[in-house]
């Protein structure tokens, strides 16, 4: 899933079932204490359209069901007695000895904009060891999925939006991109005006502390991945004394502006592409997409230039454009497990078939095979724009193109022009970067992956430094892909499990290969 700030821009006309959603209340102010509310856990329904659709989660291997509930939270944390919204939750109860249960372990898998209610059941077996002592819990953050998900354009409009040229070469293409971005942002304001000012990361962190209390936990035990590390850092800053055992994996650099983050991603994705090209051409058999690493990258560059002039047939009736291909290549670089699909997609594209690269791009954008979009990208943009103070003009972006191209000849323009996503946003951004300083917090295990494209490795050290003395403990994984724990590396998993299950903090500077 998109787990950082790589974005194009997107959809969706969300149809939510009233019986499953606690949306914004139109009632008068209330006197109830939300920390005393009782959650009504039931078997989980099928994911809503905003969550990506599909089937209800199947029971766990031991037969236990996934359970879902809705927690009420203030719409505006500055007015805690005012309107509320519903935060959708999912859990799997601890499987081990009840006497050894530690509490709840809350997950955020990133985005921003990812649905934890659908992601945790999809990957729940990966966390079976942690379930022996914790209830595994995740949620749709406010503005995401079933938690009053941000709505913008409809499916047909978004199909057209993603067909456009997102790396303009001339004034006409630039005007089209800016007009379409402005139209998308206006649709978000029209359809989600009430929630847009209240989807900042600080709001989600306050929801998490309410969640901790409603779940009955004295401490917040937490596993944050990608943007989830930023959310966890903000939580630790706001509530340092309630941090329990926490792990940050695939770490966002909290010291960067949105421009610096985009430039870092350009370097990160270029590094991942370099690693892919080296891996493919170093195998004993022939690499089907190039003879040398340089040849692989040169052929990709030629393909993208050709697509800029003449798209290929993609998923009928849509065509594979230059932007869709770039997006699809980026999606495949999120995990080494996807590299085979990148090779397949490139081979097909060289033969005139753009289907696989377009399917990869669709996955990045939250588009299902039925043509319906989740609200992943609208939520991503809404949260980023509410968080980030910077608003970049087209002239400024054009002036920065040389730096982005130097960072990545392939992804530079794409990520640079993505900075105009917030230019016409209705809500002002909160800050240049998040404050994650957390004096007094319990130790937080910070795991950086040297080959991570979306949250480059250097961010882990920056997070450790920003958390403050005695808080962040850095662990390095020398590997590929976005994140470390789900790589199945035994060293990483032993360190993370040892801390979360037994409270054993690994030595700072530990390296896993």
Whether the upstream peptide bond of residue 395 has omega within 30° of 0, thus cis, is no
Both tokens of residue 251? 């770490």
d(C-alpha 422, C-alpha 467), whole Å: 28
Sign of CA dihedral 385, 80, 105, 366: negative
Identified catalytic residue from 226, 361, 363, 487:
226
Asked whether the beta carbons of 484 and 492 are under 8 A apart, the reply is yes
H-run or E-run covering 395: helix 394-407
Identified catalytic residue from 433, 452, 486, 487:
452
Identified catalytic residue from 323, 482, 486, 487:
482
* Cβ burial 235-250 (10 Å sphere, 16+ → b, else e): bbbbbbebbbbbbbbb
Q: Residue 289 in 3-state DSSP? A: coil
Q: How far is CA 27 from the centre of its chain?
A: 33
CB atoms near residue 255 (< 10 Å): 16
- What's the CA dihedral at 463, 468, 470, 471 to 10 degrees? -50
Q: How far is CA 44 from CA 16, 139, 207, 370, 373, in A?
A: 15, 12, 21, 22, 21
Catalytic residue status for 226: yes
CB atoms near residue 382 (< 10 Å): 33
Q: How far is CA 277 from CA 105, 280, 350, 400, in A?
A: 38, 5, 16, 27
Catalytic residue status for 482: yes
Both tokens of residue 323? 């932007």
Provide the pairing of β-strand 220-225 with 103-108: parallel
Catalytic residues: 226, 452, 482
């Amino acid at each position: 899933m998109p787990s950082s700030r790589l974005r194009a821009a997107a959809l969706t006309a969300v149809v939510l079932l009233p019986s499953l959603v606690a949306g914004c209340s139109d009632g008068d102010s209330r006197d109830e204490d939300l920390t005393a509310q009782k959650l009504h856990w039931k078997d989980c329904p099928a994911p809503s359209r905003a969550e990506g659709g599909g089937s209800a989660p199947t029971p766990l291997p031991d037969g236990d069901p996934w359970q879902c509930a809705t927690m009420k939270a203030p719409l505006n944390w500055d007015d805690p007695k005012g309107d509320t919204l519903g935060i959708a939750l999912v859990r799997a109860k601890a499987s081990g000895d009840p006497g050894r249960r530690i509490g709840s372990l809350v997950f955020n898998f990133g985005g921003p904009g990812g649905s934890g209610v659908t992601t945790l059941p999809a990957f729940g077996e990966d966390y079976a060891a942690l379930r022996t002592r914790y209830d595994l819990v995740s949620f749709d953050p406010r503005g995401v999925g079933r938690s009053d998900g941000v709505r913008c354009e409809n499916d047909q409009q978004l199909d057209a939006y993603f067909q456009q040229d997102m790396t303009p070469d001339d004034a006409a293409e630039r005007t089209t991109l800016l007009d379409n971005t402005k139209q998308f942002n206006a649709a978000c304001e029209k359809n989600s005006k009430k929630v847009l000012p209240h989807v900042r990361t600080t709001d989600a962190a306050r929801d998490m502390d309410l969640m901790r209390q409603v779940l009955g936990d004295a401490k917040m035990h937490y596993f944050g991945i990608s943007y989830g590390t930023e959310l966890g850092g903000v939580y630790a800053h706001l509530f340092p004394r309630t941090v329990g055992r926490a792990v940050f994996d695939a770490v966002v650099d909290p010291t960067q502006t949105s421009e610096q983050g985009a430039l870092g991603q350009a370097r990160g994705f270029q590094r991942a592409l370099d690693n892919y090209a080296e891996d493919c051409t170093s195998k004993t058999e022939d690499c089907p997409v190039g003879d040398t690493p340089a040849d692989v990258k040169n052929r990709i560059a030629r393909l993208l230039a050709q697509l800029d002039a003449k798209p290929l047939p993609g998923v009928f009736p849509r065509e594979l454009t230059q932007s869709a291909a770039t997006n699809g290549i980026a999606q495949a670089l999120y995990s080494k497990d996807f590299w085979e699909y990148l090779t397949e997609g490139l081979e097909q594209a060289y033969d005139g078939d753009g289907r696989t690269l377009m399917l990869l791009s669709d996955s990045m954008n939250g588009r299902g095979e039925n043509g319906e979009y989740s609200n992943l990208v609208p939520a991503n943009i809404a949260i980023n724009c509410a968080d980030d103070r910077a608003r970049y003009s087209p002239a400024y972006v054009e002036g920065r193109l040389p730096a982005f191209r130097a960072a990545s000849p392939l992804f530079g323009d794409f990520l640079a022009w993505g900075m105009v996503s917030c230019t016409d946003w209705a809500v002002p951004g909160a800050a240049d970067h998040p404050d994650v300083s957390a004096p007094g917090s319990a130790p937080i295990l910070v795991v950086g992956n040297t080959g991570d494209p979306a949250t480059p490795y250097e961010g882990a050290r920056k997070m450790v430094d920003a958390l403050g003395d005695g808080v962040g403990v850095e662990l390095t994984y020398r590997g590929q892909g976005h994140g470390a724990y789900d790589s199945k590396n035994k060293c990483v998993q032993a360190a993370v499990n040892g801390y979360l299950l037994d409270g054993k903090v690994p030595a700072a500077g530990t390296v896993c290969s």
